[in-house]
Chain A
Amino acid sequence: MSADLLTRPAGTDRVTTAADVARGRSRRARRRRTVVLVLLVLVVAGFAVSLMFGRTNYSASEVMRVVLGEQVPGASFTVGRLRLPRAVLAVFAGFAFGLAGVTFQTMLRNPLASPDVIGISSGASAAAAVGIIVFGLNGTAVSVLAIVAALGVALLVYLLAFRDGVVGTRLILMGIGVAAMLDSVTAYALSRAAEWDLQEAMRWLTGSLNGTGWNQVTPTVLAVLVLAPVLLWQSRNLSALQLGDDTAAALGVRVERTRIVLIVAAVGLIAFATAAAGPIAFVAFLSGPIAARIVGPGSSLLVPSALVGALLVLVADFVGQYALGTRFPVGVVTGVLGAPYLVYLIIRTHRAGSSL
C-alpha cells in the first residue's frame, strides 16, 4: 500500500506522515501520563495529611514509624488503629467507586448512567443494612450479600430498561425508581435496629468511614486488587464500545461478552466498597466527568477516574471531620458536591432536547 494511493487535488500541499500521527498521539499520551502522575501525588499527599492531622497532629516521622509497625505512644492508637484503616478504606473505596462509575458511564454512553444513580449502590447498601441490622451478619457474609443484591439490581434494571443496548431516559428513570425503593428498604431496616444508631444509619444512607476497622478494609482492598485489573484489561474494548454496539462489533469486540465482564467487575467493586463504607454519595457519578475534564477527550478515563475517586473520598472525609465545626460523614460532603451536578446534567440534557 502506497502513500500515492489516492490522488490529491492539485494545490493541497501537506502530506500526513506516520510521524505526524505519532506526534499527536504522544502529545495526548503525555498529558494523560502527567495527569495520572499528579493525581497519584495528590492521593499520596491526601493520605499522608489524613494520617498526620486531626484533633491531635503527629509528625511525618511518627506516622512513618507507626505505619512500619513500631510502637509510638499515643500515635500507635490514633494513627495505627483509627486513622490508618480509615484512610486506606477512603483510598480503596474511592478508587473502586471512581473506576466502577466511569466504566458504567462509558459503557452506557451516558454520564447519568452511573451505578449510584441507577440504583446499584442502593441495592448493595440495602442488602448490607438488612444483613447487618436484621440478620446480625458481618464480614464476608455482608460483602457476599451486597454483591448478590447489586448484581440483582443490575440485572433487574437491565431487563426492565436496557435491551438491545438502548440506553435512554427509561433506564435512568427506572434506576432512580429502583434506587428510591431500595433506599426505603434500608430505612426500614434501620427502623428495626435494636438500638437506634445514627452512625450506622448514616453509613447505609449516605456512606461513612466512621469507626472503620481493618476487618472492613480487607475485603475492599482485595476486591480492588482483583477487579481493577479486569477492567483495565477490558479498557480497549470499552473504548470501542463507546462507538456504538455495531461499530464495536465490526471492530472485533464481542459486545455481549465484554458488557457482561464489565458489568460484573464494576458491580463487584461497587458492592465490596459499599459493604464497607456505605454508598458514599455521588463519588461514582462525579469521578468520571471530573477526570474527563482534566484528561481531555479521547484517552481512557479508567485510571484517572479511579484516582479522582480516591482523592475525592480522602478530601471529603477530612473536610467532613475537621473543617465544618460538627463532624459530618463523608457521604454528606460528597452529596453536597454531587447533587448540584446531577441537577445541572438533568437540566442540560433536558434543554438539549436529547433523550438523555
Chain B
Amino acid sequence: MTTTPSLTAEELSLGYGDRTVVSDLDLAVAPGAITVIVGANACGKSTLLRAMSRLLAPRTGRVVLDGRLVHKMPAKELARTLGLLPQSPIAPEGITVADLVGRGRHPHQGVFSRWNERDDEAVAEALEATQTAELADRAVDELSGGQRQRVWIAMALAQQTDVLLLDEPTTFLDPSHQIEVLDLLTDLNQARGTTIVMVLHDLNLAARYADRLVAMAGGRIHAQGEPADVLTEENVRAVFGLESRVITDPTSGRPLMLPIGRHRVFEPVAG
C-alpha cells in the first residue's frame, strides 16, 4: 500500500462569476482519516469539494496534493489518486450496474489500451465491497435509492484512489441505508487507509462517523477538530442559527445534538 497522500487547501478563494463563495480558506485534510464537512445550505461545501478535486479553478490560493498543485496536475493522473462522487451524478438510461461501475476505470485506461484483468478485478472488488454484485446485470435506473447510491460508491471505489471526496452521499436515503453507506465508507477507510472527505447534512451522523469534523459558515471554516470539540451548542448556534442541547451519545460516546424549536419543549431555554 502506498503512503497516504496529504491534501491541503491554502488561502483558497472560490466563486462563480463575480460572486465570491469561499474566501481565504485553509484546510489540511488529515491523511488516512475521515473528515466530515457540515454547514448550512449554500455555505460553500460543494464548492470547496469541487475546488479540491479541480472541478473549479481557485480565484486565489491553491490546493496541494502531496506537494503538487492539483490544478496543474495531468487530469488522469490526479484522477488515479483523488476521486470525487458529486452530489448528483447522472446514470445514462438503461446502463447496467457493472457497466456503470466499470466507468470508474476511466483514469486507468489509455485511449487505445484495452480493458484488462486489473480493470475486471477492480470492478469485482468494488461490487463486492458495496454488496452490489447481485445487482451487476440490473439497470441502474430500476434500483432503489439506497442501491443506486451504493452503485455510485462502487464506481468511485473502482477508481481506486487513495483520497475519496463525497458530496452528500447519504442525502435522500432512509436511515438504515444512510448507516449502511457510512459503515461501508468506514470499512473502506479502515481496510485500505483511504482518506475520506465528505459532506453530510445530519450533524449526529457526522459527529459519529467523523475522525475530524469541519463546520463551515458563509464560505469560511468556523470550527474544526474532534467531533466533541466542534459539535457544541455554541457552534450549532453560530453555524446554523439553531438552539440545541448537545449530550453524549450513549452508543458511541460521540456528541449528540438535540435541536430545540419553539414547540414541544418542556422548559423555555434561557437566552
- Tell me whether B79 and A247 are in contact (CB under 8 A): no
Question: Which of B26-34, B126-134, B229-237 lies at the interface?
Answer: B126-134
Task: Output the nearest chain B residue to A19 by Cβ-Cβ distance.
Answer: B120
| Residue interface bits B177-211, CB-to-A below 8 A is 1, else 0 | 00000001001100110000000000000000000
Judged by a CB distance under 8 angstroms, whether B137 is at the interface is yes
How far, in angstroms, from A242 to B131 measured CA to CA in the complex?
25
Q: How far is the CB of A290 from chain B (nearest CB, A)?
A: 15
* CB of A219, distance to nearest CB on chain B (Å): 27
CA distance A236 to B108 in the complex (A): 12
Q: Which of A150-158, A251-259, A303-311 binds B?
A: A251-259
**Chain B residues near A17 (CB-CB < 8 A):** 124
How far is it, in angstroms, between the C-alpha of A165 and the C-alpha of B98 when the chains are bound? 26
Instruction: Tell which of A12, A109, A253 touches B92, judged by Cβ atoms closer than 8 Å.
Output: A109
Residue of A at shortest CB range from B110? Answer: A236
Q: Does B89 contact A (CB under 8 A)?
A: yes
Q: Who on chain A is nearest to B106 by CB? A: A251
> Is A194 in the interface zone, CB < 8 Å from B?
no
Complexed CA–CA distance, A249 and B49 (Å): 13
The answer to whether A21 has its CB under 8 Å from any CB of chain B is: yes
Contact B98 A247 (CB under 8 A): no
Residue of A nearest to B184 (CB): A6
Q: A304 to nearest B CB, angstroms?
A: 15
| CB pair B95 A298 closer than 8 Å | yes
Cβ-defined partner of A5 (8 Å) among B99, B131, B133, B191: B191
Contact with A along B130-173 (1 / 0, CB 8 A): 01011011010000000000000000000110000000000000
Which of B61-69, B80-88, B246-254 has 4 or more CB atoms under 8 Å from chain A? B80-88
Is A233 located at the chain interface by the 8 A CB criterion? yes
What DSSP secondary structure best describes chain A's contact surface? loop
Segment touching A, from B7-15, B35-43, B50-58, B218-226: B50-58
A316 nearest CB across to chain B (Å): 27
A9 to B128, CA, bound (A): 12
Which residues of chain B have C-beta atoms less than 8 A from A16's C-beta?
Answer: 124, 127-128, 133, 136
Q: Within residues 86 to 126 of chain B, which ones have a CB less than 8 A from any CB in chain A?
A: 86, 88-96, 98-100, 102-104, 106-107, 109, 111, 115, 117, 120-121, 123-125
When distances are taken between beta carbons in the complex, the residues of chain B under 8 Å from A299 are 99
* Contact of A57 with B by CB under 8 A: no
Q: How far is the CB of A356 from chain B (nearest CB, A)?
A: 13
Shortest distance from the beta carbon of A15 to any chain B beta carbon, whole Å:
7
Q: When the two chains form their complex, are residues B107 and A25 in contact, meaning their CB atoms are under 8 A apart? A: no
Is A18 positioned at the interface, with any CB of B under 8 Å from its CB? yes
Q: With the chains together, A242 CA to B121 CA distance in Å?
A: 24
Task: Enumerate chain B residues within 8 angstroms of A8, measured Cβ to Cβ.
Answer: 128, 131
Contact A25 B98 (CB under 8 A): yes
Residue A168 lies at the interface, judged by CB distance under 8 Å to chain B: no
The reply to whether B128 and A18 contact each other, CB–CB distance below 8 Å, is no
Nearest to B141 among chain A residues (CB) is A297
Q: B137 is contacted by which of A3, A24, A233 (Cβ under 8 Å)?
A: A24
Check if A54 is an interface residue, CB within 8 A of chain B: no
Separation of A247 and B128 alpha carbons in the complex (Å)? 22
For residue A243, CB closer than 8 A to chain B, the reply is yes
* Complex Cα gap A25–B96 (Å): 11
- With a CB–CB cut-off of 8 A, which chain A residues contact B89? 243-244, 246-247
B117 near A18 with CB under 8 A, answer: yes
**Residue from B55, B80, B133 within 8 A of A246 (CB atoms):** B55
Closest beta carbon of chain B to A102's beta carbon, Å: 13
Interface size class of A (residues with CB under 8 A): 35 or more
A233 to B111, CA, bound (A): 7
Residues of chain B with a CB closer than 8 A to A244's CB: 86, 88-90
Q: In the complex the two chains form, is B86's CB within 8 Å of A297's CB?
A: no
B136 touches A20 (CB 8 A): yes
Q: Chain A 285-313 against B: per-residue CB contact (8 Å), 1 yes, 0 no?
A: 00000001000111100000000000000
**Bound form: Cα–Cα A254–B121 in Å:** 26
User: A22 within 8 Å of B by Cβ?
Assistant: yes
Q: Which A residues lie within 8 Å of B134 (CB)? A: 14
Interface check A28, CB cutoff 8 A: yes
**Contact between A296 and B94, CB atoms less than 8 A apart:** yes
**Residues of A close to B137: CB separation below 8 A:** 24
Nearest-neighbour CB distance to chain B for A272, whole angstroms, equals 24
A residues less than 8 Å from B123 (CB atoms): 18, 21
Find chain A residues with CB under 8 A from B54 CB.
249
The answer, yes or no, to whether B75 is at the interface (CB within 8 Å) is: yes
* A239 within 8 A of partner (CB): yes
Residue of A nearest to B54 (CB): A249
- Could you say which residues of chain B place their CB within 8 Å of the CB of A28? 96, 99
Query: What is B's interface to A at a CB cutoff of 8 Å?
Result: 1, 50, 53-55, 75-80, 83-86, 88-96, 98-100, 102-104, 106-107, 109, 111, 115, 117, 120-121, 123-125, 127-129, 131, 133-134, 136-137, 139, 159-160, 184, 187-188, 191-192
Q: List 18 A-B contacts (CB under 8 A).
A: A1-B1, A5-B188, A8-B128, A16-B124, A16-B127, A21-B102, A22-B120, A239-B106, A247-B85, A249-B53, A249-B54, A250-B53, A250-B84, A251-B103, A252-B77, A297-B93, A297-B94, A298-B95
Question: Other CB < 8 Å A-B pairs besides A244-B86, A251-B107, 16 of them?
Answer: A1-B125, A5-B129, A6-B191, A16-B124, A18-B117, A21-B98, A21-B136, A109-B92, A239-B106, A246-B55, A249-B53, A249-B75, A250-B55, A252-B80, A254-B75, A298-B95
Among all A-B residue pairs, the 6 with the closest Cβ atoms = A297-B94, A252-B79, A252-B76, A298-B99, A252-B107, A16-B133
